[in-house]
């Protein structure tokens, strides 16, 4: 049986004047996914998320949440969705706890225990009674996630949740998302351009480029299809390039004297022999897997503004 689709966009399009920020975008987020929406700056991620959470209306196409068109039953459907879109805004002179109580109050609930639970879940139990203006960026992001959790949503939509966080904050956010996904079965849709982060956190991704869908698949499948990559560090470089050409191997990238070449692990011995025969000094020859970053760069080659 195929997994239940919790969020589906159908030919979603948003135009600002003549400019199509999002065009003909069909996405499918399944129950249990941590789904990454990837794209360069200006690719249309935030616009997509704003349409998915009904902050803005699409020009055409539609958004189905839990099988229902959001337009038909907006409040009831969105009650099952938590969201953190752009930088979370809170009253700075109120405490984290009071901010959450006010927000929960908007949905008609006075469940103080739930507020405490959410603060605890995001690791803010000890700081809940401090004013938000004393919070670091990472704490504000965590408070944003706590706010998204308040109504026990089945789906949480996060726009750039690791924006502006330091490495520890990024790790904390990854663990939080992973924990909520595994332990409470929460489905996530996350937009990001931190590719390494997405590779670690997400099971499925969509790559959006200039408003259009480039690819949508499981991360493991994308990477398996991308084949193996080897790192070669040898000198002199022009001779190394000649060896690559003689072996018929494509050089994927070249950075600071290190070449990344498409090469299966079994073919590494032939590389070593050829480099030796050509008189190269070999410093490093390591097998490796393609990364999501490499896949992404290939899929979006030409940059955000290219024709």
* Site residues (vs ligand ATP, CB under 6 A): 16, 21, 39, 41-47, 193
Output 271 or 296, the one with its CB closest to ligand ATP. 296
Output 21 or 122, the one with its CB closest to ligand ATP. 21
Taking the complex as a whole, the smallest distance from the CB of residue 129 to ligand ATP amounts, in Å, to 33
Output 16 or 91, the one with its CB closest to ligand ATP. 16
Taking the C-alpha atoms of residue 136 and residue 153, their distance in angstroms, rounded to an integer, is: 26
What does the block give as tokens for 173?
A: 């956010």
Taking the complex as a whole, the smallest distance from the CB of residue 10 to ligand ATP amounts, in Å, to 18
Q: In which order are the strands placed within the sheet that holds 258-262?
A: 251-255, 258-262, 228-235, 281-289
Taking the complex as a whole, the smallest distance from the CB of residue 203 to ligand ATP amounts, in Å, to 21
Taking the C-alpha atoms of residue 78 and residue 65, their distance in angstroms, rounded to an integer, is: 8
Taking the C-alpha atoms of residue 235 and residue 70, their distance in angstroms, rounded to an integer, is: 60
What does the block give as tokens for 274?
A: 């050829």
Taking the complex as a whole, the smallest distance from the CB of residue 51 to ligand ATP amounts, in Å, to 10
Output 47 or 201, the one with its CB closest to ligand ATP. 47
Omega of the bond leading into 236 within 30 degrees of 0 (cis): yes
Q: Note whether 84 and 144 are within 8 A (CB).
A: yes
Taking the C-alpha atoms of residue 171 and residue 165, their distance in angstroms, rounded to an integer, is: 9
Output 43 or 170, the one with its CB closest to ligand ATP. 43
Taking the complex as a whole, the smallest distance from the CB of residue 45 to ligand ATP amounts, in Å, to 3
Taking the C-alpha atoms of residue 219 and residue 38, their distance in angstroms, rounded to an integer, is: 12
Contacts of 300 (CB under 8 A, 6+ apart): 39, 40, 43, 207, 209, 214
Output 142 or 193, the one with its CB closest to ligand ATP. 193
Output 34 or 43, the one with its CB closest to ligand ATP. 43
Taking the complex as a whole, the smallest distance from the CB of residue 59 to ligand ATP amounts, in Å, to 12
Taking the complex as a whole, the smallest distance from the CB of residue 210 to ligand ATP amounts, in Å, to 9
Contacts of 268 (CB under 8 A, 6+ apart): 230, 285, 287
């Amino acid at each position: 049986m195929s997994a239940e689709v919790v969020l589906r966009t159908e030919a979603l399009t948003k135009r600002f004047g003549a400019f199509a920020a999002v065009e003909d975008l069909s996405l499918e987020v399944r129950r249990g996914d941590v789904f990454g929406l990837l794209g360069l700056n200006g690719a249309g991620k935030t616009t997509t998320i704003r349409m998915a959470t009904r902050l803005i209306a699409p020009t055409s196409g539609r958004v189905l949440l839990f099988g229902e068109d959001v337009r038909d039953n907006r409040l009831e459907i969105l009650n099952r969705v938590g969201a953190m879109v752009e930088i979370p805004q809170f009253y700075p002179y109120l405490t984290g706890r009071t901010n959450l109580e006010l927000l929960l109050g908007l949905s008609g609930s006075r469940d103080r225990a739930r507020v405490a639970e959410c603060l605890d879940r995001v690791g803010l139990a000890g700081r809940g009674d401090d004013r938000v203006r004393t919070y670091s960026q990472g704490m504000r992001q965590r408070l944003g996630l706590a706010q998204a959790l308040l109504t026990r949503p089945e789906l949480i939509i996060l726009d750039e949740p690791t924006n502006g966080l330091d490495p520890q904050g990024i790790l904390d956010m990854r663990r939080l998302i992973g924990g909520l996904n595994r332990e409470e079965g929460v489905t996530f849709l996350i937009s990001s351009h931190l590719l390494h982060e997405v590779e670690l956190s997400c099971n499925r991704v969509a790559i959006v480029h200039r408003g259009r869908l480039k690819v949508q698949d499981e991360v493991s499948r994308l990477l398996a299809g991308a084949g193996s990559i080897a790192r070669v560090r040898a000198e002199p470089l022009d001779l190394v390039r000649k060896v690559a050409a003689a072996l018929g191997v494509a050089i994927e990238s070249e950075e600071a004297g290190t070449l990344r070449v498409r090469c299966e692990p079994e073919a590494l011995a032939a590389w070593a022999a050829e480099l030796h025969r050509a008189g190269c000094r070999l410093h490093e020859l390591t097998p490796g897997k393609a990364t999501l970053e490499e896949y992404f760069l290939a899929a979006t080659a030409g940059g955000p503004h290219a024709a």
